[in-house]
Structure 1
């Protein structure tokens, strides 16, 4: 049986996912699930370096004004430019280098 992180790696090797999509794919529900997934992504990012793989990040983006955030493993709560909370989640994918 695979661990949750192994399942995340397998999913991200196939295509890109947002944290919300990963939670759905892993059938995880409840408060704080996105935080758990982000912690897993941070750990996965470190372990991939030893395997010749890299975690690609499509940054979060404000749906109201188009502001693009830094490519980080985190979920911004509001836009620094227009203060909107209408934020498109970052997307993650694993690529072999």
Structure 2
């Protein structure tokens, strides 16, 4: 049986996913589900460096004004430009260097 991080890695090698999508696919529930996936992604990013792979990050984006956040492993809660909370989650994918 694969670990949760191994399952995330194999999913991200196929295509890109948001943290919420990964949480649903892994059948994680509750308030901490997305946070757990984000913590796993941080660990996976370190693991991939040793394997010659890279975690690509499509940054979060404000759906209201189009502001693009820095590409990082976190989900912003509010847009700094328009203060909207209507935020598109970042998306992650794994590729070989």
Shorter chain as normaliser: what TM range? over 0.9
Are 1:65 and 2:65 counterparts? yes
Segments of 5+ residues of structure 2 without an aligned counterpart are: none
- Once the two structures are TM-superposed, the CA of residue 61 in structure 1 deviates from its matched residue by 0.1
In angstroms, what is the RMSD of aligned CA positions? 0.4
Q: How many residues align?
A: 97
- Once the two structures are TM-superposed, the CA of residue 42 in structure 1 deviates from its matched residue by 0.2
* Corresponding residue number in structure 2 for 1:26: 26
| TM-score, L = length of structure 2 | 0.99
Query: Which aligned runs of 4 or more in structure 1 are off by greater than 3 angstroms?
Result: none
Segments of 5+ residues of structure 1 without an aligned counterpart are: none
Q: 1:82 and 1:50 mapped to 2: Cα distance? A: 39
Q: 1:29 and 1:73 mapped to 2: Cα distance? A: 20
